[in-house]
Amino acid sequence: MLLLQLLKYKRFIRIIMQYNFNAIEAKWQKKWAKQKPFQAKQPAELTEQKPPFYVLDMFPYPSGAGLHVGHPLGYIASDIYARYKRHKGFNVLHPQGYDSFGLPAEQYAIQTGQHPAKTTEVNIKRYREQLDKIGFSFDWSREVRTSNPDYYRWTQWIFIQLFESWYNQETDKAEPISNLIQLFEKHGNIQVNAASDEDVETFSAEVWSAFSDHKKEAILLQYRLTYLAETEVNWCPALGTVLANDEIVNGISERGGHPVVRKKMKQWSMRISAYAERLLQGLENLDWTESLKESQRNWIGKSVGAQLRFKIENFESFIEVFTTRPDTIFGVSFMTLAPEHELVAKITTPEQKEQVEAYIKAASLKSERDRMADVKSITGVFTGAYAEHPFTKEPIPIWIGDYVLAGYGTGAVMAVPCGDQRDYDFAKYFNIPIPNVFKDVDISEKAHADKDHTIIANSDFLNGLNAKEAIAKAIEKLEKISAGTGKTNYRLRDAVFSRQRYWGEPFPVYYVDGLPKMINEKHLPLQLPEINEYLPTEDGAPPLGRADFWAWDTKNNKVVDNKLIDHKTIFPLELNTMPGWAGSSWYMFRYMDAHNNSGIALSEALQYWKNVDLYIGGSEHATGHLLYSRFWTKFLNDLDVLPVEEPFKKLINQGMILGESAFVHRLKDSNTFITADLIEGKETQPIHTDVSLVNFSNELDIEGFKNWRPEFQDAKFITDENGKYIVSREVEKMSKSKYNVVNPDDICEDFGADTLRMYEMFLGPLEQAKPWNTAGITGVHNFLKKLWKLYHNGDKFEVSGQSASKESLKTLHKTIKKVTEDIENFSFNTSVSTFMICVNELTQQKCNSKEILGPLAVLISPYAPHIAEELWEKLGNENGISEANYPVYEEKYLKEDNKTYPISFNGKMRFTLDLSLDLSKDEIENAVMQDERTQKQLEGRTPKKVIVVPGKIVNIVG
């Protein structure tokens, strides 16, 4: 009896003394929350000199689904780096927040009537709980939420600054619109070199002063960095809303399957194109991956060429075209206009009218995406009109075709079929001549698009020149006869900034006589109004059209009842809201001083933190978010609000963690399921099953499966000879619909956050996509148990004060060296291996010296912070481990006297030989040649050559 009790007691002790990760992690998370050791210091609060370092994750959209194990991957990496930098003596800014405006919350509101603010709040709470369980060292005192009025107040403020600015191409920066007005008053707009709409009329100073205020405003709008413009959108009349390209499938809406038409709408746009060249040049100095920079370069799409004017016969109009190949000007055999081109209606001859109109109608029904997708079929119509060749004066037929895009360049091309495959195909199809302007090039099969090894022929004054010379010469001649000029074109288009949605930032804009006016920034934020339903109105206005209180009283500077609108002092407010990328384009600067209400942040703080040193996030934002935030940063830099030109110095894209889906196989037309080994030769249908119903050996919990969904209640199972039902596995994207989601909460519960953190890193290189496999986690978990044991003797915490053995010091210092290098290179997977090797070796050495175990705890704390804190505390330290200095690697401990040389014969390693590193080349050679194994290998032959690389290898040839 007594013995039994004693046994039970011993077991109890073992449990409490063993690595009890749940208790340890809860304890430290509570302490961190209370003591806030991870708060970054503002420059004024610094008591000692510490360099700043800013580590940022792309903030999440708090979706209702919560986090799965793929989401924290980047956060773990950045957290390791942030903790490491703190150990290294940096004042680290490592904040987190939420991109909390967005479509899913609104969609949910439409379905349930719940206010998006409420569901967002609930989701954020859940996110926060999940994040806290993983033990991140975020400075939550700086949390931002884009949907918070204190935050979007400044998003609105930035919008106003953009409205009040124009882009001066002389100074190459944004300037106040008041400067522009002064220029107009002095010189009109003739000498102004500004980024503007294409169709601005020219006027002199006198003409300008004579304009009405209304007219002046309308003209200024064509220069402002954010402006209202007619933009083509995908309009779905049935849904009463505008759809994004990917919400449309085959010309009908994905949701509901309603027809979609292309329609012009007045919308806010951002004149990002003004920054195209700077956005391109700025990439040079960024520490981003080449592929990411390449995506941005492609997106900006710079092309150098010429803009040409072709006179239209019998009209006083010209067709403007952009070409990169003015050298092929003599190869033009027709012109093609986009169906939407404004001249089409004017120049079409009566005979061709019917055909042309039918073609335009058909094209308008196709979405832009459909038009792009359908590259194969060649369509087009002749307008009946002709243009005049600028040099030969020959007539050139003018066609329309939807392979020419209205939105790029001038929406018209000079078609040179011998040099462009699309023009070539078009010409072949419609039997248009294909003149050849290349010397000794066969164009009977396909066009010759090569620029580099080409001599121009049949081209008057360009004959005999290579392409480069011919381009320069052609531009020179064109300029002489005023038929064209050299020009650089960018693919980057101005970004539409209006959304017909509720859950986004309201524009601080009201309308007077149809022209937009800004609310004075003193009266921001303009808060989202309450509405009863989150749908567009019956007459197709955006959801804000439902608000009863949505008018601006300019006398009292407040929002008032719509009934009071008199268009004298009370005006209607803008009904659109801003897109998702508005708030995310500047949030990285808000963290620098998150609660400031005098500006986006205090300028001292902006000056101190500058920009993000390390930014980690998904590659899906390569061209959207990362381009827009660079744009806003450059703009705010022009205004001297920000001291930097770029928001993110270094950027890493973490790879996706994929799920391992599990499939059961149902025999065709039955409710019988067959185990994976027996499906061969049978007609089966694979069905996703929830991975939580499958154990590590791929064995299905049959009862659980039956209860999982009602239709499987009566399912029959054909099992293997052991009575087990085995599922098949496949690696897919982790998603709810594939039932392969693994929740980090469960992992933390079963193995601990430290295990989760290390395992996610251990899976493979950060930037690579890799499958999640929960079975493998035991390796990392065992490692942490072994680590724990190093500091304990049986049940007792026990470390010795005695100095460590030479061996252990060597183990420690080689670990410091490798782990430090790995962190600096973001090679976290290899540092986890290094820790494993280290702990294995120290265990072997029976090392329990404080001299080793102290630094080891610090070394590992960025990766496994909870266990490290616990051990650190047990080691008798009063301050938290995050305040500890990072161990310093000392070479002396690694110094080797001997090297185990691999001895190769003809490049193949045959044996190893321990030799002193002090030996000279000759001495090494002698030692090797004297070894009996060498003689055995040579079998009496004399080596032709012996290669000795001291410290590395010996290779004997012969």
Partner RNA sequence: GCUCGGAUGGUGGAAUUGGUAGACACGUUGGACUUAAAAUCCAAUGGCCAUUAUGGCCGUGCGGGUUCAAGUCCCGCUCCGAGUACCA
Site for RNA in 308-367 (CB under 7 A): 322-325, 338
Instruction: Tell me: does residue 953 bind RNA (CB under 7 A).
Output: yes
Closer residue to RNA in complex, CB, 510/863: 863
Choose the binding region for RNA from 46-54, 80-88, 201-209, 828-836 (rule: CB under 7 A).
828-836
Q: Which of 327, 420, 505, 754 binds RNA (CB under 7 A)?
A: 420
Closer residue to RNA in complex, CB, 105/406: 406
Residues 948, 956 contacting (CB under 8 angstroms)? no
What amino acid occupies position 123?
Answer: N
- Residues 6+ away with beta carbon under 8 Å from 474: 306, 326, 327, 329, 462
Choose the binding region for RNA from 189-197, 494-502, 515-523, 945-953 (rule: CB under 7 A).
945-953
DSSP H stretches of helix in 443-576: 467-480
Choose the binding region for RNA from 455-463, 480-488, 586-594, 833-841 (rule: CB under 7 A).
833-841
Q: Taking CB under 7 A as the criterion, which residues in 390-419 touch RNA?
A: 402-405, 408-411, 413-414, 416
Closer residue to RNA in complex, CB, 663/901: 901
Q: Taking CB under 7 A as the criterion, which residues in 842-861 touch RNA?
A: none
Number of residues in the chain: 958
Shortest reach from residue 119's CB to RNA, in Å:
28
Instruction: Tell me: does residue 500 bind RNA (CB under 7 A).
Output: no
Choose the binding region for RNA from 86-94, 535-543, 595-603, 906-914 (rule: CB under 7 A).
906-914
- Residues 6+ away with beta carbon under 8 Å from 635: 161, 162, 165, 174, 225, 275
Instruction: Tell me: does residue 250 bind RNA (CB under 7 A).
Output: no
Considering only CA atoms, which of 129, 233, 279 is closest in space to residue 632?
279
Instruction: Tell me: does residue 298 bind RNA (CB under 7 A).
Output: yes
Instruction: Tell me: does residue 902 bind RNA (CB under 7 A).
Output: yes
Closer residue to RNA in complex, CB, 150/841: 841
Considering only CA atoms, which of 626, 582, 613 is closest in space to residue 99?
582
What amino acid occupies position 599?
Answer: G
Instruction: Tell me: does residue 833 bind RNA (CB under 7 A).
Output: yes
Choose the binding region for RNA from 103-111, 215-223, 703-711, 822-830 (rule: CB under 7 A).
822-830
For Cα atoms 600, 544, 523, give the angle at the middle one, nearest 5 degrees.
35
Q: Which of 134, 780, 853, 857 binds RNA (CB under 7 A)?
A: 780
Instruction: Tell me: does residue 724 bind RNA (CB under 7 A).
Output: no
Instruction: Tell me: does residue 829 bind RNA (CB under 7 A).
Output: yes
Closer residue to RNA in complex, CB, 6/909: 909
Which run of H or E residues covers position 114?
none
Instruction: Tell me: does residue 811 bind RNA (CB under 7 A).
Output: no
Instruction: Tell me: does residue 301 bind RNA (CB under 7 A).
Output: yes
* Alpha carbon distance 79, 135 (integer Å): 9
Residues 654, 767 contacting (CB under 8 angstroms)? yes
Closer residue to RNA in complex, CB, 439/786: 786
For Cα atoms 256, 262, 268, give the angle at the middle one, nearest 5 degrees.
105
Considering only CA atoms, which of 510, 304, 328, 338 is closest in space to residue 413?
338
* Alpha carbon distance 28, 496 (integer Å): 47
Instruction: Tell me: does residue 489 bind RNA (CB under 7 A).
Output: yes
Token pair recorded at residue 499:
């959304």
Residue 899: CB atoms within 10 A of its CB come to 18
Instruction: Tell me: does residue 295 bind RNA (CB under 7 A).
Output: yes
* Alpha carbon distance 20, 914 (integer Å): 45
Choose the binding region for RNA from 147-155, 267-275, 301-309, 801-809 (rule: CB under 7 A).
301-309
* Alpha carbon distance 14, 795 (integer Å): 6
Instruction: Tell me: does residue 775 bind RNA (CB under 7 A).
Output: yes
Total residues interacting with RNA, rule: CB under 7 A: 88
Instruction: Tell me: does residue 435 bind RNA (CB under 7 A).
Output: no
Shortest reach from residue 103's CB to RNA, in Å:
18
Choose the binding region for RNA from 121-129, 299-307, 461-469, 541-549 (rule: CB under 7 A).
299-307
With tokens 């064109």, the residue in question is 478
Q: Taking CB under 7 A as the criterion, which residues in 505-524 touch RNA?
A: none
Instruction: Tell me: does residue 696 bind RNA (CB under 7 A).
Output: yes
Choose the binding region for RNA from 187-195, 456-464, 671-679, 904-912 (rule: CB under 7 A).
904-912
Instruction: Tell me: does residue 765 bind RNA (CB under 7 A).
Output: yes
Closer residue to RNA in complex, CB, 390/508: 390
Instruction: Tell me: does residue 697 bind RNA (CB under 7 A).
Output: yes
* Alpha carbon distance 430, 421 (integer Å): 14
* Alpha carbon distance 440, 456 (integer Å): 9
Instruction: Tell me: does residue 434 bind RNA (CB under 7 A).
Output: no
Shortest reach from residue 175's CB to RNA, in Å:
28
Shortest reach from residue 697's CB to RNA, in Å:
6
Q: Taking CB under 7 A as the criterion, which residues in 611-650 touch RNA?
A: 619-620, 622-623
DSSP class of 48: S
Instruction: Tell me: does residue 782 bind RNA (CB under 7 A).
Output: yes
Closer residue to RNA in complex, CB, 174/836: 836
- Residues 6+ away with beta carbon under 8 Å from 947: 953, 954, 955, 956, 957
Binding to RNA by CB under 7 A, coded x per residue (else -) over 862-901, reads --------------------------------------x-
Instruction: Tell me: does residue 305 bind RNA (CB under 7 A).
Output: yes
Instruction: Tell me: does residue 20 bind RNA (CB under 7 A).
Output: no
* Alpha carbon distance 871, 671 (integer Å): 55
Choose the binding region for RNA from 66-74, 268-276, 818-826, 878-886 (rule: CB under 7 A).
818-826
Residues 701, 725 contacting (CB under 8 angstroms)? no
Shortest reach from residue 198's CB to RNA, in Å:
13
Choose the binding region for RNA from 474-482, 704-712, 743-751, 836-844 (rule: CB under 7 A).
836-844
Q: Taking CB under 7 A as the criterion, which residues in 145-184 touch RNA?
A: none
Closer residue to RNA in complex, CB, 145/810: 810
Instruction: Tell me: does residue 837 bind RNA (CB under 7 A).
Output: yes
Instruction: Tell me: does residue 763 bind RNA (CB under 7 A).
Output: yes
DSSP class of 694: B
Instruction: Tell me: does residue 97 bind RNA (CB under 7 A).
Output: no
CA distances from 390 to 313, 423, 481, 701, 947 (A): 12, 20, 8, 79, 72
Q: What are phi and psi of 249, to 5 degrees?
A: -125, 120
Within 13 A of 381's CA, how many CA atoms are on the CB side?
21
Closer residue to RNA in complex, CB, 560/894: 894
Instruction: Tell me: does residue 955 bind RNA (CB under 7 A).
Output: yes
Residues 399, 337 contacting (CB under 8 angstroms)? yes
Considering only CA atoms, which of 207, 201, 218 is closest in space to residue 185?
207
First to last CA, the chain: 78
Residues 446, 435 contacting (CB under 8 angstroms)? no
Closer residue to RNA in complex, CB, 895/908: 908
* Alpha carbon distance 871, 558 (integer Å): 58
DSSP class of 264: E
Instruction: Tell me: does residue 103 bind RNA (CB under 7 A).
Output: no
CA distances from 534 to 476, 507, 529 (A): 58, 17, 11
Q: Which of 205, 667, 687, 769 binds RNA (CB under 7 A)?
A: 769
Residues 146, 152 contacting (CB under 8 angstroms)? yes
Q: Which of 112, 141, 171, 291 binds RNA (CB under 7 A)?
A: 291
> What residues are paired with 388 via a beta bridge?
311, 395
Considering only CA atoms, which of 483, 298, 496 is closest in space to residue 388?
483
Closer residue to RNA in complex, CB, 527/898: 898
For Cα atoms 686, 689, 690, give the angle at the middle one, nearest 5 degrees.
160
